[in-house]
Structures are given as structure tokens and as C-alpha cells.
Amino acid sequence: MRIKYNIDWLIRKTVQKNDPNRIVENIFDYQNVIRKRPDLDREIYGSNGFYGMNYILKRYSGYDKRIKCLIEHAPGFTNIGLNEYKSNIFDTLLVSSEQRKKFLESRTNKRIYDIGPSIAYAETIYDEYNLKKTKNNLGKTLLLFPIHNIKNTDWQADTEGFIKRAKELARDNGFDTVLVSLYYVDIMRGLNIRYEKEGFTVVSAGNIDNYDFNDCMKTIISLSDFALYQGFTSSVGYCIYMNVPVCMVWNDYNTEAYRNNNMADALNVFQSYFIDYDESISEKQREICNHYYGYDSVKTPDKLYEIFDGLKRNKPGRD
């Protein structure tokens, strides 16, 4: 059985490696971008492949063995996943910030490392020349992040209200191009059609399983001058890290669901400081994002390699 599994995996890996669509060359070809392009490395914990986390960390650090820990793929201020973190299957957890590390230390006995936001380890799909050329062609660019669905949800978002706000903001502030970053689930459900009717340009960072998700996200943000959010998503902190100002449409986060998951207070903080349109980034906004995303926790390639290499011989404990 094990031999058959390994043979099947090698066949899948060969097919994927030779897929002509494996390398994204055009960020605007969103139907191609959202096709599945999984990491070719077989890891111990499959969820490490979500959004290409395993791929970008190994590429950055030069580490070429299996990563023996679980990787959170976004900044954490939620109780979601706490039961999983008590599992005996793994003994080490990578998180974004020192804030998240301290939050989890009283709730799990795992070894925890804070390594900063994933966008710090990503690369754009374009080289410097082509990135600049593409940006010049777009002109002053407004980037929209609508609230996105996941596979088993159907948010009743106010799409029409968000479009109206975006059109007003673009008109009043001299934007030449409006990009709309849609999650692959929403494109598969046809939401792209509504935004394209307004003359907006739809893009996507891709599928949850794609090794280059963060690379595509970094490319999209790099092409933008300002980002408007319909509701909080993890890319808020990625934009600020990349010096792209942000504002958010007001949402009510004082609900039972948000409070039960330890999210309401943090989301209200973000909303209070990112509610107004301002083409500069304040020190308070950077401070908030650093607190939750761990800008100060970003590691050098050598340090990240050292962490990964040490996991195979060290016993869990709080570092």
C-alpha cells in the first residue's frame, strides 16, 4: 500500500511539474491564476501548503527537508484552531507575531516561534523592470478587497454599496485603474462578472492550494497605490508592510460570533484606525499592524534555516 502511494505521488508530481500553467506569467489572467498549482514537496502537515507557506519559507531560507512544525498562514487573534494546537501530532508552531505567541503560550505547551508576516517571504511574479512597466501602464491604482467567501459559506455582502463607495473614492481621488482582488471561490461563483461590468480589472492571488499564492498577492499589492477593504482580511497588514495605505468600510464586529472567537476587540481596533481615506500611513497604523503581524519578527534566511534545522533534534519548549 505504501509503495503504491509513493508511486502515485511521484506520478502526480511529474504531471504537475510539467504543467505549462505552473508558472504564472500574467497576473491579469485570473482564470489561469486560480487553477490548482500545489507545492511539489510532500510535507508532514498538509495544511502547511495552504497559500504556499511551506514553499515560500523553504525558498527564502534554503531549507530543503520537511518542516517539522505546523505553520499558521495568517496573523492570529482568534480562538479558532486551539483544540488542534493541543494535538500530540506536532510539537512546534510557527506564528506571525510575539502577540500571537504570548496568546498561545498559556493555551498550549507547544514550542512557538514568531516569524512575521508571510508577505515578507514572498516574491513578485514579475522582475523589477516588468513590475515597473506594468505599474506605469496602470497609472494611479485603487485596489479593492471585497469580503470573500470560503467553500462552505455564502456571505450576504453588500456588493452594490461597496461598488458605489469604490467608484466615489476613485473619482474623487484621481485613480486611473481599479483592481479588484477576488478570492478563487468568488470567481468560481461568478462575482467577477459584477465588478467587470463597472469597468474594474479583476485579479486574484489564486487557489488556497497554490504554491505561489503569496507571490501573486505580493504582485497585486505592488501594483497598487491604495487599498479599500469591504471588511478585514489578513492582507490589510500585508499592504501596510509594503507601504500601501488602507481604509476599511465600516462593519459591525460586536457580534457574538466574533466575541466568542476572540476577534471582536482586534477587529474594532483595526476599523477605528483604518476607517478614513488617507494616502499616508500613520505611525499608529504601523504600530497596530506590527503588533498583530510581527513586522519586527521577520527572520533572516540563516535564522529561519537555523529554526527549521533545530526542529529535528530539539524537544518542545517555549523559546
- Coil/strand/helix, residue 126: coil
Domains of the chain with CATH codes: 2-121+296-310 (no CATH), 128-288 (3.40.50)
Distance of CA 89 to the CA centre of its chain: 25
- State residue 28's pLDDT score: 98
Q: How confident is the model at residue 122 (pLDDT cuts 50, 70, 90)?
A: very high
- Coil/strand/helix, residue 269: helix
* Window from 180-184, 302-306, 315-319 with minimum mean pLDDT: 315-319
Q: What is the C-alpha to C-alpha distance for residues 221 and 50, in angstroms, rounded to an integer?
A: 20
pLDDT of 21 above 80: no
**Cβ atoms of 54 and 48 closer than 8 Å:** yes
pLDDT of 318 above 50: no
Output the pTM of the full model. Answer: 0.90
List pLDDT tens digits, range 278-300: 999 999 999 999 999 999 999 99
Mean pLDDT of 235-261: 88
- Coil/strand/helix, residue 215: helix
Average predicted confidence (pLDDT) for the chain: 88
- State residue 19's pLDDT score: 72
Instruction: Return phi, psi of residue 287, to 5°.
Output: -65, -45
List pLDDT tens digits, range 28-44: 999 999 999 998 887 77
- State residue 13's pLDDT score: 62
- State residue 316's pLDDT score: 46
Q: What is the C-alpha to C-alpha distance for residues 27 and 280, in angstroms, rounded to an integer?
A: 26
